[in-house]
Amino acid sequence: MKQDVGIVSYGAYVPRYRITPAEIGRVWGTDGAAMGASLGVRRKSVPAPDEDTITISTEALRTALIRGAIDPQEIGALYIGSESHPYAVKPSATVVAQAVGATPNLTAADFEFACKAGTAAIQTCLGLVGAEMIRYGVAIGSDTSQGAPGDALEYSASAGGAAFVIGREHVLARVRHTLSYTTDTPDFWRREGQRYPSHGGRFTGEPAYFRHVTECTRRIMDRAGTTAASYAHVVFHQPNGKFPQRVGKQLGFSEAQMRYGLVTPSIGNTYSGAALIGLANVLDVAKPGDLVLMVGYGSGAGSDAFDFQVTDELATYDRSFGTPVQEFLEGGVEIPYSVYAKFRGKIHMGGEA
Partner 1 sequence: MSIARFWRETPRRYNLGGCRCPTCQTVYFPPRSVCPVCVNHRRSIGRMEPFQLSGEGEVVTFTLVHEAAEGFEMQVPYVMAIVRAKEGPQLTAAVVDIDPADVKIGLKVRATFRKLREEGRAGVIHYGYKFAPMDATHHPPDRPAGGTRLPATTATTTTVGSEARA
Give the interface with partner 1 as residue ranges (CB under 8 A).
Answer: 16, 48-52, 54-55, 58-59, 62, 65-67, 69, 71-73, 86-87, 95, 98-104, 318, 320-324, 327, 333, 342, 345, 347, 349, 352-353
The answer to whether the beta carbons of residues 47 and 17 sit under 8 Å apart is yes
**Rounded Cα gap, residues 154 and 270, in angstroms:** 12
Q: Strand 333-334 and strand 17-19: pairing?
A: parallel
Q: Which residue, 70, 122, 72, is CA-closest to 96? A: 72
- Choice between 61 and 274, CB closer to partner 1: 61
Give the shortest CB-50-to-partner 1 separation in angstroms. Answer: 4
- Choice between 65 and 125, CB closer to partner 1: 65
- Choice between 48 and 133, CB closer to partner 1: 48
Give the shortest CB-321-to-partner 1 separation in angstroms. Answer: 5
- Choice between 249 and 342, CB closer to partner 1: 342
Give the shortest CB-225-to-partner 1 separation in angstroms. Answer: 39
Give the shortest CB-176-to-partner 1 separation in angstroms. Answer: 30
Give the shortest CB-77-to-partner 1 separation in angstroms. Answer: 16
**Rounded Cα gap, residues 179 and 247, in angstroms:** 18
**Rounded Cα gap, residues 91 and 70, in angstroms:** 23
- Choice between 229 and 320, CB closer to partner 1: 320
**Where in the sequence numbering do the catalytic residues fall?**
83, 115, 237
Using CA atoms, how far residue 275 sits from 236, 237, 346, in Å, is 6, 5, 27
What lies within 8 Å, CB to CB, of 117 at 6+ separation is 80, 81, 82, 83, 111, 141, 272, 298
In angstroms, how far is CA 90 from the centroid of its own chain? 22
